[in-house]
Amino acid sequence: MDSELEFHAALTALSWQVELGADEALSETAISRYEEKPAAPPTVAVPPRATATEPPRPAPGSADKDAAVRDARQMSAAAQSLDALRDAMAAYDHCELKRGAKNLVFADGRPGARVMIVGEAPGRDEDIEGLPFVGRAGQLLDRMFAAIGLSRRSPDTEHALYITNVMVWRPPQNREPSPQEIAMLLPFLERHIALADPELLIIMGNTPLSALLGTKGITRLRGEWAEVLGRPALPMFHPAYLLRTPSAKREAWADLLSLQARLREK
């Protein structure tokens, strides 16, 4: 009850003050609006902290990649025979493809043949047998070159073929080799060509075109003679491409005739 009386008394007092013209609450402490406020302390600008400039760091793993290529060059250069080169490649552990492959696919045919074929990479059949071009594409390759009198089984170098690939280990799912994988194995391929010492090279597909000529575009460059390591080289369609695109066999036949004509010149 007392609280209700106090409430009404307070309300009555407030109403009376409003009637007298009081329209705001005042503090019990007097405030002078004319006094100057103390100046705020000056803000001291703090210069940004200098940071040391670090030289750009190489990409992760780049040093390992450089070492892998350097080791490939040293190991391949030390090989003085095809057998020694094969042993060097078998001992080369930098390429991850080696871990998933069943066999090192080195070469087939007659060393010292006038014509050396450089293909792309082993497929499933080649990985199992350890020889290049033994699947359907290899059978087509044999028929193609037999048409101009050349064979990997010929005992004489005049009519023989010597065959290898850029990659000696099969890439998983027959994927295209990466630029780094090609760079690792290129020194071995170049040494392989030097030791086999063919008169003419056949570059079959985009992978050897990229490795040996530094470019791609086999459709554009096929049939155009180039020079690789001081030797005439003829880019041609890979037999696997011809199996997928039978209409390209006409161009392949024209390239074979061009090879035959070049062989007859010597």
Structural domains of the chain, with CATH: 65-264 (3.40.470.10)
DSSP H helices, 97-168, are 97-100, 124-129, 136-146
Q: Which residues pair with 210 in a beta bridge?
A: none
Please report the DSSP string for 204-233 in residue order. Answer: ESHHHHHHHHS---HHHHTT--EEETTEEE
Q: How far apart are CA 57 and CA 124, in angstroms?
A: 40
Contact 197, 111 (CB under 8 A): no
> For residue range 35-54, what is the model confidence (pLDDT) as tens digits?
555 555 565 555 556 555 55
pLDDT tens-place string over residues 213-247? 999 999 999 999 999 999 999 999 999 999 999 99
Mean pLDDT of 103-114: 98
Report pLDDT for 65.
87
For the chain, helix (H) and strand (E) counts, in that order, are: 11, 6
The single residue listed with the structure tokens 């293909």 is 119
CA distance 142 to 134: 9
Whole-prediction pTM: 0.76
